[in-house]
Amino acid sequence: MAAQPPSYKTLASLSRINLLHQLQQRGTMTVGDLAEAAGLHHNTAREHLDRLISEGFVTCEPEPRQTKGRPRMLYSAARGVDSDASSVRGKKVEAALIRAEQLRRMLPLTPVDRPTAGAVTVGAECGAAADAAAVRPTHPAVQRQFDALDDHLDQSGFDARVTDDQQHVTLHDCPYSEMVKDHPEVCGVHFKLIQGVLEQAEGPLRAHQLHLIEAPRLCTIDLHHASPAEIAADRAALEAAVSEANVVVDAMVAVTAGSSAADAAGRVAEPAGAGLGSRRR
């Protein structure tokens, strides 16, 4: 039996999917909040989060604080463009581009001016990036996004097809179908991951809508080629979301700082010997 790709192994866990779902829906959270929401022990939740971070699906930063002590870690679902040189998501996109270029060099391509019927296989079949480029001339930014999407679908275990007009992606024989039967939110989690991949690859292509045609075996994703104005609006919306998340983090920091200050004030106000006297009694 062929080995499953690493992203599939990560996403095949219902516990990890639940953690991702909570972060995608609720925003920045602590491990304690996540463990409670997902019904997991703190240590178990932390192990699952570490796995999601290693795949680039989740980010983690220490909570800013003005007081002494170990800061809490704040977890978020990865989104937008992470331009950090050590970014897992950035490295995955670059690796996807290298693999796609190697495929285009190795595989024979259909001339662009030759009409091609049907759809182009991507994902588990491999060679999608080369085939997609052969079907029609593609803007470099869009091709970059298709390369990243192809690699993500392949690594996640999907068998997918992109239509010739590059407006739709059809996902066949979903490898998570058994999980979806009892937990339909799994589909939404994967859709947001696909949106994130296209964002990280930086281009006009957007995953617009998910259609469950014959769930859980078959679904279609509508793709949209955004105009410059739409791209600017998306960027502004993302910046607003980041600002809102920062406000939430600041509020969490303020609560923590206030609690620490109250504890310190209580210790200062306690009369000398009060603790000793209480023990004597």
Q: What is the 3-state secondary structure (H, E, C) of 210-271?
A: EEEEECCCEEEEEEEECCHHHHHHHHHHHHHHHHHHHHHHHHHHHHHHHHHHHHHHHHHHCC
Q: Are residues 116 and 187 in the same domain?
A: yes
Is residue 37 classed exposed, middle or buried when 0-12, 13-18 and 19+ CB atoms within 10 A define those classes? middle
Given a contact cutoff of 8 angstroms between Cβ atoms, the answer to whether 252 and 63 are in contact is yes
The verdict on residue 264 lying in a domain is no
Cα–Cα distance measured from residue 45 to residue 34, given in angstroms and rounded to the nearest whole number:
7
The verdict on residue 9 lying in a domain is yes
114-160 confidence digits (pLDDT tens):
444 445 445 444 444 444 444 445 689 999 999 999 999 999 999 89
Q: Are residues 40 and 157 in the same domain?
A: no
Q: How far is CA 234 from the centre of its chain?
A: 17
Q: What is the predicted pLDDT for the residue at 246?
A: 59
* Backbone region of residue 157 per phi and psi (left: phi > 0; alpha: psi in -120 to 50; beta: other values): left
Instruction: For residue 38, give the CATH number of its domain.
Output: 1.10.10.10
Q: Are residues 177 and 69 in the same domain?
A: no
Q: Are residues 125 and 218 in the same domain?
A: yes
Q: Are residues 225 and 88 in the same domain?
A: yes
75-108 confidence digits (pLDDT tens):
999 988 988 888 999 999 999 999 999 988 887 6
Residue where a domain stops, chosen among 78, 102, 118: 78
The verdict on residue 171 lying in a domain is yes
The verdict on residue 269 lying in a domain is no
Residue where a domain stops, chosen among 78, 108, 136: 78
Q: Are residues 62 and 165 in the same domain?
A: no
Cα–Cα distance measured from residue 29 to residue 37, given in angstroms and rounded to the nearest whole number:
10
The verdict on residue 129 lying in a domain is yes
Q: Are residues 87 and 174 in the same domain?
A: yes
Cα–Cα distance measured from residue 127 to residue 110, given in angstroms and rounded to the nearest whole number:
13
Q: Tell me how many domains the chain contains.
A: 2
Q: Are residues 184 and 104 in the same domain?
A: yes
212-250 confidence digits (pLDDT tens):
988 778 899 999 998 878 777 766 766 676 566 556 556
Type of residue at 39: G
Given a contact cutoff of 8 angstroms between Cβ atoms, the answer to whether 231 and 246 are in contact is no
Task: Collect contacts of 117-120 with beta carbons under 8 A, ≥24 apart.
Answer: 117/164, 118/164, 119/161, 119/162, 119/163, 119/164, 119/170, 120/161, 120/162, 120/163, 120/164
Residue where a domain stops, chosen among 78, 100, 116: 78
Residue 256 has pLDDT above 60, yes or no: no
The verdict on residue 255 lying in a domain is no
Q: Cis omega (within 30 of 0) on the bond before 111?
A: no
190-217 confidence digits (pLDDT tens):
999 999 999 999 999 999 999 998 877 8
Q: Determine the average pLDDT of the residues in 172-200.
A: 94
Q: Are residues 101 and 213 in the same domain?
A: yes
Boundaries of domain holding 158? 83-229
43-69 confidence digits (pLDDT tens):
999 999 999 999 999 999 998 877 777
Report CA dihedral (216, 166, 104, 227) to the nearest 10 degrees.
-120
Using CA atoms, how far residue 118 sits from 3, 151, 196, 218, in Å, is 30, 21, 27, 17
Given a contact cutoff of 8 angstroms between Cβ atoms, the answer to whether 52 and 45 are in contact is no
